Amino acid sequence: MVTMEPIPVGEQTLVGVEVKLPKTTLLTISTSRGYIMCGATSVWAISR
């Protein structure tokens, strides 16, 4: 399942994305300048 939510910070709105996988959960917060990520960077490795 994929969930997207706006995250208000000051006058900006960031985009939070959560991807639930069988063995882990990936989280990202995106801005106009880049993103931060928590979770596995190789979905292939986790899916094995």
Rounded CA gap, 30 and 40, in Å? Answer: 17
Q: Is there a contact between 31 and 8 (Cβ–Cβ < 8 Å)?
A: no
Q: Which amino acid is at 25?
A: T
Provide the token pair at 45. Answer: 């490795």
| CA 8 from centroid of its chain's CA atoms | 16
41 compared with 20, residue with greater pLDDT = 20
Tens-digit pLDDT profile for residues 1-24: 999 999 999 999 999 999 998 878
Match 């969930």 to its residue by tokens: 3
| pLDDT higher than 80, residue 40 | no
Domain ranges (residues) in the chain:
2-47
| pLDDT higher than 70, residue 41 | no
